[in-house]
């Protein structure tokens, strides 16, 4: 029996090639989209699951509200981890990481330095807490001694050409020699941190062991014993604050915890489960930009909708063929077929068609996955057979799709009455409402996605054209300027003598995320640092050329003097900080701060004083999702970057001269540069990726929806063949018939628009709430989306309408 079903199925597919093609293409696109998104979701949900003790590991996060500045930090103080381990039996082990920043690295016998930025100080317990296979060396002793390091296998191959390099030496910044004590396997891409080098924490002993609780520079991870209630353990942070932090708080501010909180401040800690960090954490000082659980939900929803739309297409196209299949059903019933057999036949057709679509979908996935990976910023691979849950999910999707898409046609077609069918008297008007509902659903989803795409692009355009308070165009950043050492000023001045260069400044601080940020507490002289008008502010060290080179504007006062000895204890505030302090005339006012000792502790006896000499107009130095924070510019040595303003027409010549002069003055040292506008755009990389992905899926959704509309219009034209023939005989024009056939579908599109518009508006208003500075969702968004979808739908329907209108009426009426 089943063999007979297969024969009939293949005959029908071959007989109706065009409909079979549309069905297979629609389902293949839907299945391919669903599989790609499934791979993405599976990848996002697998982060940090490779650690054997992942369910017992948590990171300590800090939440500090002080003087009007609220900080959510992925870091803690240096003694937090060791204290929790020593004081609480629930903590089996702990490990701290302290990012070192960038190093120039070479082997002792090498001539060339390589710039490396994936370097961390680490406690030796790292290999016990995390599952990081050590392939050479002893993980128990690898990082016990100062100036020892462990490195990844890929780094070992890079510097020595072999994996077993235990006992070899690396030179960092041409200053310190580190002995290699272990080599470990490279971290998988599904890890929220990835490091190539681990330096022993003892090398950084002064800071790691200073006992300062009020400075937060360490990522602290705890490994709990089996059976520990991690949620209940959080209560112990109150004891930690009272026992260890309050005494230092009193020394630092003169106030205990109660007074600190009464002044409107707070200090809280939380534990983040390791497996939650990638999708549920967006704190300051994350190792790398994390994912977003909302995007997982978004694309999962898109996958479901695309698959549902593809199934609806199958139903609509099967309905369009019902006129041709009706007599077949009538004859089969007359010859003795029961409804159960007919249902089985039609389900066999739909499942087989779905399997064919699935095979094509696998090919589409292989072809499009690299493109999708690039757009999404993830590393995806079609390793179907390495993950049993993934295999089960894909098989389930294929079977459910086949059964779902075939259910309505199977039940509808098998229910035809043979007498009416064979007389040609059957009608399906009672089903038209259901089919219309499917079309409305399809285009409502399409319109919501289009509205979302337009709003995202409008917000990105708003960001690009927003006044930032500085000029990001034609600004080149030469990194690691300290490498030039005594040649730094000469490098800057030599290039300024060239006609392609307008100005230059030397500073580690840039108005974009990802560069040096340094918070410190200040207050007006004579006021109490807790009860008074205190403010946490960014401290940036710049020179006198910084403000003019970046095109900033001084609204009150003056810039720093060119005299190297002048303005040593002065500061230029931004407007946000001047407003926070409330000075009527800030020029000449004095602000205080604590002195920080080399070990990270604070000296509250010897206060530093700075005189305000100017106020710079507010400029954005973080994402437009955030308000402009208080900031102070201080004159001082900061040698991280040389920043050049260049002539736009000769940019390539300028870059060539920048690189050649570097090679002359810093031979053998790695050279790197970037453009400030590119670094600014990187702050919105996530939004740009979402925009591109939504665009891609919008096109797919519209294509699939139009295939469904094509099927329904084909069905309508078939049902009204005789009516159209009579109208043509009576003198109806082609345009009139096209209008007659099309108007009902245009009504459905209009209904879709009125459903989708408020839904799309609500969803995108929620998305825009992430931004402090945002565009408005104007009428233009709805006009463009509405008119666009009506035009697309009209073209789709007109194809069938014109075809029906051009048919010779003799053919349609010859049997009458």
Looking at the fold, whether 459 and 568 belong to one and the same domain comes out as no
Query: Are 468 and 620 spatial neighbours (Cβ–Cβ below 8 Å)?
Result: yes
Distance, in Å, from the CA atom of 678 to the CA atom of 477, rounded to the nearest integer, reads: 11
pLDDT at 770: 80
Cβ atoms of 22 and 686 within 8 Å: the answer is no
* 254 belongs to a structural domain: no
Is residue 240 situated within a structural domain? Answer: no
Residues 668 and 702 in one domain: no
The residue out of 280, 310, 340 marking a domain boundary is: 280
Dist. CA 451–CA 669, nearest whole Å: 50
Within a domain: 46 = no
Beta strand ranges found along 581-630 (DSSP E)? 590-596, 602-616
* b/e code 191-220 from CB counts within 10 Å (16+ = b): bbbebbbbbbbbbbeebbebebbbbbbbbb
Same domain for 31 and 110, yes or no, is no
696 DSSP β-pair partners: none
Helices and strands, number each (H, E), in the chain: 27, 24
CB 464 within 8 A of CB 643: no
* 287 falls within a domain: no
Q: State residue 79's pLDDT score.
A: 95
Classify residue 641: in a domain, yes or no.
yes
Q: Which residues of 277-312 are buried (b: 16+ CB within 10 A; e: fewer)?
A: bbbebebebbbebbbbeebbebbbebbebbbbbbbb
pTM: 0.81
Asked whether residue 536 falls in the same domain as residue 388, the answer is no
Number of residues that this document lists for the chain: 816
Do residues 81 and 216 both lie within one domain? yes
List the structure tokens of 203. Answer: 């090398």
Instruction: Specify the pLDDT at position 121.
Output: 95
- The H or E element that residue 493 is part of is helix 488-496
Per the structure, the count of domains in the chain is 4
pLDDT of residue 513: 65
Which residues, given as ranges, of the chain have pLDDT below 50? 430, 515-516, 815
Quick one: CA dihedral 427, 433, 436, 437, positive or negative?
negative
- Residue among 620, 568, 567, 611 at smallest CA distance from 593: 611
Query: Quick one: 610 and 734 in the same domain?
Result: no
Residues 320 and 420 in one domain: yes
Check: CB of residue 792 under 8 Å from CB of residue 745: no
Final residue of a structural domain among 623, 647, 682: 682
Query: What whole-number distance in Å separates Cα of residue 55 and Cα of residue 185?
Result: 22
pLDDT at 457: 86
Check residue 327 and give its pLDDT: 61
Residue 252: inside a domain: no
pLDDT at 125: 97
Tokens linked to 429: 């008007």
Here the tokens at position 162 are 């072999």
Which of helix, strand or coil describes residue 800?
helix
What token pair was written down for 308? 């549902």
Residue 142, token pair as written in the block = 């690898």
Give the number of C-alpha atoms closer than 13 A to the C-alpha of residue 66, restricted to the C-beta side: 22
Residue 541 forms part of a structural domain: yes
Co-location of 314 and 220 in the same domain? no
Q: What is the DSSP letter of 582?
A: T
Helix (H/G/I), strand (E/B), else coil: 111: coil
| Cα 702 to Cα 791: distance, rounded to the nearest angstrom | 12
- 627 DSSP assignment: P
Please state, in angstroms and rounded to a whole number, the distance separating the CA atoms of residues 359 and 366: 11
* Phi, psi of 328, deg, nearest 5: -60, -45
Same domain, 332 and 276: no
What is the rounded CA–CA span in Å between residue 719 and residue 392? 42
422 & 538 share domain: no
Q: Is position 248 within any domain?
A: no
Same domain, residue pair 71 and 205 = yes
Q: Which residues form the domain of 373? A: 1-38+293-426
| Per-residue tokens: 378 | 């993830």
Could you tell me the two tokens for 191?
Answer: 């890890």
**pLDDT value at position 567?**
85
Q: Are residues 498 and 590 in the same domain?
A: yes
Q: Cα(315)–Cα(437) distance, rounded to whole angstroms?
A: 12
- DSSP, collapsed to helix, strand or coil, labels residue 289 as coil
């Amino acid at each position: 029996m089943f063999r007979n079903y297969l024969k009939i199925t293949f005959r029908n597919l071959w007989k109706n090639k065009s409909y079979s093609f549309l069905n297979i293409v629609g389902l293949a696109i839907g299945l391919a989209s669903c599989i790609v998104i499934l791979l993405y979701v599976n990848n996002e949900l697998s982060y940090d699951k490779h650690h054997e003790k992942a369910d017992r590991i948590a990171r300590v996060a800090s939440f500090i509200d002080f003087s009007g500045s609220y900080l959510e930090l992925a870091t803690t103080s240096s003694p937090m981890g060791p204290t929790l381990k020593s004081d609480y039996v629930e903590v089996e082990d702990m490990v701290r990481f302290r990012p070192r920043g960038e190093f120039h690295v070479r082997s002792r016998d090498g001539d060339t330095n390589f710039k490396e930025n994936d370097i961390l100080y680490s406690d030796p317990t790292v290999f016990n807490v995390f599952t990081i296979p050590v392939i050479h060396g002893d993980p128990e002793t690898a990082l016990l001694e100062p100036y020892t390091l462990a490195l990844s296998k890929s780094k070992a191959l890079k510097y020595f050409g072999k994996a077993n390099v235990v006992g070899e030496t690396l030179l960092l910044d041409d200053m310190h020699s580190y002995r290699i004590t272990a080599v470990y396997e490279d971290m998988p891409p599904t890890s929220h941190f990835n490091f190539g080098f681990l330096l022993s924490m003892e090398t950084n002993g002064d800071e790691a062991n200073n006992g300062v609780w009020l400075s937060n520079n360490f990522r602290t991870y705890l490994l709990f014993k089996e059976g520990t209630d991690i949620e209940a353990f959080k209560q112990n942070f109150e004891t930690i604050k009272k026992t260890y932090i309050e005494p230092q708080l009193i020394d630092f501010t003169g106030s205990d915890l109660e007074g600190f909180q009464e002044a409107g401040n707070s200090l809280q800690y939380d534990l983040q489960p390791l497996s939650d960090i990638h999708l549920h954490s967006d704190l300051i000082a994350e190792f790398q930009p994390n994912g977003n659980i909302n995007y997982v939900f978004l694309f999962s929803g898109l996958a479901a909708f695309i698959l549902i739309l593809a199934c609806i297409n199958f139903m609509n196209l099967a309905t369009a063929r019902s006129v041709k299949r009706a007599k077949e059903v009538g004859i089969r019933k007359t010859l003795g077929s029961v409804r159960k057999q007919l249902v089985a036949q039609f389900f066999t057709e739909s499942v087989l068609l779905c399997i064919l679509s699935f095979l094509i979908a696998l090919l589409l996935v292989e072809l499009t996955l690299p493109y999708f990976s690039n757009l999404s910023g993830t590393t995806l691979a079609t390793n179907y057979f390495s993950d049993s849950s993934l295999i089960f999910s894909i098989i389930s999707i294929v079977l459910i799709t086949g059964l779902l898409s075939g259910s309505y046609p199977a039940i509808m077609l098998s229910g035809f009455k043979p007498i009416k069918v064979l007389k040609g008297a059957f009608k399906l008007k009672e089903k038209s409402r259901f089919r219309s509902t499917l079309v409305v659903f399809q285009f409502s989803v399409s319109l919501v996605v289009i509205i979302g795409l337009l709003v995202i692009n409008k917000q990105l355009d708003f960001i690009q054209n927003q006044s930032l308070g500085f000029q990001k165009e034609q600004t080149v950043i030469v990194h690691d300027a300290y490498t030039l050492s005594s040649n730094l000023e000469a490098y800057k001045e030599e290039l300024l003598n060239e006609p392609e260069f307008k100005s230059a400044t030397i500073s580690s601080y840039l108005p974009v995320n990802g560069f040096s940020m340094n918070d410190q507490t200040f207050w007006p002289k004579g006021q109490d640092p807790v009860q008074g008008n205190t403010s946490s502010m960014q401290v940036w060290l710049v020179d006198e050329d910084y403000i003019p080179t970046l095109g900033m504007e001084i609204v009150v006062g003056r810039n720093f003097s060119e005299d190297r000895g002048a303005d040593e204890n002065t500061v230029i505030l931004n407007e946000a900080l001047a407003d926070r302090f409330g000075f009527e005339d800030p020029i000449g006012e004095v602000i205080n701060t604590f002195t920080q000792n080399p070990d990270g502790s604070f000296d509250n006896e010897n206060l530093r004083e700075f005189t305000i000499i100017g106020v710079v107009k507010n400029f954005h130095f973080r994402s437009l999702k955030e308000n402009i924070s208080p900031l102070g510019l201080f004159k001082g040595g900061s040698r991280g970057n040389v920043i050049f303003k260049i002539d736009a027409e000769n940019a390539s010549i300028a870059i060539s001269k920048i690189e050649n002069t570097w090679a002359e003055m810093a031979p053998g040292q790695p050279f790197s540069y970037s453009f400030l506008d590119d670094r600014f755009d990187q702050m919105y990389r996530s939004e740009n990726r979402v925009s591109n992905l939504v665009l891609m899926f919008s096109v797919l959704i519209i294509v699939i929806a139009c295939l469904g509309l094509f099927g329904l219009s084909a069905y309508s034209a078939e049902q009204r063949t005789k009516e159209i023939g009579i109208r043509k005989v009576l003198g109806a024009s082609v345009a009139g018939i096209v209008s007659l056939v099309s108007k009902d579908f245009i009504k459905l599109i209009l209904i879709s628009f009125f459903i989708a518009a408020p839904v799309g508006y609500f969803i995108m208003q929620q998305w825009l709430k992430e931004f402090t500075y945002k565009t408005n969702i104007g009428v233009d968004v709805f006009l463009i989306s509405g008119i666009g979808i009506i035009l697309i739908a009209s073209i789709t329907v007109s194809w069938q309408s014109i075809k029906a209108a051009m048919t010779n009426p003799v053919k349609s009426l010859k049997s009458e």
